A and B are shown apart, each in its own frame.
With several copies, the nearest count.
Chain A
Amino acid sequence: MSTENSTSTLSREDLARLVAADIAPGSYVNLGIGQPTKVSDHLRADQQVTLHTENGMLGMGPEAHGEDIDEELINAGKIPVTERPGASYFHQADSFAIMRGGHLDVCVLGAFQVSAAGDLANWSTGAPDAIPAVGGAMDLAIGAKQVFVMMSLFAKDGTPKIVADCTYPLTGLACVSRVYTDHGVFLVDHGEDGPSVTLREAHGMSPHEVADRLDFPLTLPAENG
């Protein structure tokens, strides 16, 4: 897999590999529940990435199996996990201080929608009969130095999930830095002249085709611009 434009879309595995490769060595990272969890499979040992789980731990290791399962050592998805050397435990207020205080380098989240201003919608479909649950989503959205989103670019009905304005209930405003999708990687710039979105690379369609499907002005990669 290359990070240049390609004619085939990226699989979920490709995406996880791409995100993992983009995380700077030595980073402190929180991986959200679901698709983002897969990123850990592609982090190389020499990247020395330390994983945070918001239920009170730094230095989280891979999922636990068999005899290693300990119901008092779980991740934010309540899956049994393991402990890396150099780990530490802390209580919930200290754990969220790590996030809210901006100490994590990267947080990787799933999403329903991301706006061209970097607004994130990932906690509620807004369906009137749904039982709401937010967990740490809003803290994760506003806490990390960089928030990476992983999702498909289009919903099942073909409408784009990167939009001018989110129609789903918001998780956080102007918080997303990058969006990794099956059809390409989008960089959100929160500049002083207002936000802008640049397509870093396209997959499965051309950059112009991607731009045509979106309802906001997309900056294309330099070689295509």
Chain B
Amino acid sequence: MTEFVDTAAEAVARVQDGSTVLLGGFGNAGQPMELIDALLESGTTGLTVVSNNAGQGDRGLALLIKERRVRKVICSFPRQSDSWHFDEAYRAGDIELELVPQGNLAERLRAAGAGIGAFFTPTGYGTTLAEGKETREIDGRHYVLEHPIRGDVALIKAHTADDAGNLLYRKTARNFGPVMATAAAHTVVQVQQRVPVGSIDPEHVVTPGIYVDTVTALGADPARPEGQPENHPQEAKHA
């Protein structure tokens, strides 16, 4: 059952020193900035973070890395033009990196959520990223065996949650959210708005409430003033 809490600080209380945290977002889109800020405040450290990137600029995950709260990153694309905090931590030997092709990252998270023990993927076969991994030829194609990635806690961002915890996302900010929600023992979501049960058409639910443990509604996002309603999901307009 989904619990609703008033503050991001309460929402991230489940994260402990040494936790594996699945962190939504592709770049800044879909990254749960307010939950990460609360995590910074909380002082939690020694984290393993699973995320597509390793932080951009001076926001979100980049700050967690700057503050040396992250022991290890499992991601596909750490190095970017503005990933200076990761770059510095990595060159200083302060952070461990497991590099995973993006599709394998997504599929390994899905496998964790779907109870799949391991799967054969063609991605990465014959490359250094598959070194040491089991391979197999199936019907003339070569595959690498990959295993699930499970999280203790997932921190993700969605747009709307109803009282049953059903989630709607917004545009390409959806990215890893729905998959990570299934892959963690406890899923925490920051949303812009909470709506009553019945406000979301059951045909449109992207993440069913069964995957959602804790929600905090932040209200209006300063980056998305109310003057842009046409960019919001349909249900949001009706609510």
Q: Do A and B actually bind?
A: yes
Please provide the chain A residues from 42 to 86 with a CB less than 8 Å away from any CB of chain B in the complex: 48, 50, 52-59, 70-75, 78, 83, 85-86
A100 touches B121 (CB 8 A): yes
A88 touching B166 by the CB < 8 A rule?
Answer: yes
- For B164, list chain A residues within 8 Å (CB): 50, 59, 85-86
Supposing A73-B171, A138-B127, A139-B101 touch, asked if A89 and B205 sit within 8 A by C-beta, the answer is yes
Min Cβ gap B232→A in Å is: 10
In the complex, A75→B29 CA distance in Å? 10
Give Cα A171–Cα B129 distance, bound, in whole angstroms: 9
State whether B198 touches A101 (Cβ < 8 A).
no
- CB contacts under 8 Å to B, within A87-139, are 87-93, 95-104, 119, 124, 130-139
Judge whether A186 is part of the interface by a CB distance below 8 angstroms.
no
Is A25 interfacial (CB-CB < 8 Å)? yes
Query: A56 with B77: in contact, given A50-B164, A138-B127 (CB under 8 Å)?
Result: no
Asked if residues B169 and A89 are in contact (CB atoms below 8 Å), the reply is yes
Whether the pair A72, B77 counts as a contact (CB closer than 8 A) is no
Is A153 part of the contact surface with B, judged by Cβ < 8 Å?
A: no
Taking the closest CB of chain B, its distance from the CB of A137, in whole angstroms, is 7
Q: Known contacts A53-B172, A57-B172: does B182 contact A136 (CB below 8 Å)?
A: no
Residue total for A at the interface (Cβ-Cβ under 8 A): 60
Sample (22) of A-B pairs whose CB atoms are under 8 Å apart = A27-B1, A72-B30, A74-B27, A78-B56, A86-B166, A86-B209, A88-B208, A89-B174, A91-B106, A92-B106, A93-B106, A97-B110, A97-B115, A100-B121, A130-B79, A131-B91, A133-B77, A135-B101, A136-B101, A138-B123, A142-B122, A173-B126
Would you give the 0/1 interface string for B118-137, flagging 1 where the beta carbon is closer than 8 Å to chain A? 00011111111100000000
**Is B175 in contact with A92, judged by CB distance below 8 angstroms?**
yes
The number of chain B residues touching the other chain, given as a range, is 35 or more
Q: Is A143 an interface residue (CB 8 A)?
A: yes
Cα A48 to Cα B197 with chains together (Å): 13
**Measured CA separation A49–B126 after assembly (Å):** 32
CB distance from A54 to the nearest CB of B (A): 7
CA distance A98 to B125 in the complex (A): 18
Task: Give complex CA distance A58, B162 in Å.
Answer: 14
Q: Which residue of A lies closest to B90 (CB)?
A: A131
- A169 located at the interface, meaning its Cβ lies under 8 Å from any Cβ of chain B in the complex: yes
Decide: A85 near B198, CB < 8 A? Known: A54-B102, A59-B164, A92-B102.
yes
Q: How far is the CB of B162 from chain A (nearest CB, A)?
A: 6
| Cβ contact within 8 Å between A97 and B113 | yes
Contact A70 B171 (CB under 8 A): yes
Which residues in B have their C-beta under 8 angstroms from that of A50?
Answer: 164, 209-210
Is residue A180 within 8 Å, beta carbon to beta carbon, of the partner chain?
no
What CA separation (Å) do A160 and B167 show in the bound complex? Answer: 47
For residue B28, CB closer than 8 A to chain A, the reply is yes
**Could you list 17 further interchain pairs (A-B, Cβ under 8 angstroms) beyond the known A57-B172, A100-B114?**
A25-B1, A56-B26, A57-B202, A70-B231, A71-B223, A86-B197, A88-B202, A90-B205, A92-B176, A96-B107, A100-B122, A132-B97, A138-B101, A138-B123, A172-B125, A172-B126, A172-B127
Q: Is B179 within 8 A of A134, CB to CB?
A: no
Q: Does A148 contact B (CB under 8 A)?
A: no
Of the candidates A57, A131, A133, the one whose C-beta lies within 8 Å of that of B76 is A133
Could you tell me if A134 and B205 are in contact, using CB atoms closer than 8 angstroms?
no
Contacts of B171 on A, CB cut-off 8 Å? 57, 70, 72-73, 83, 89
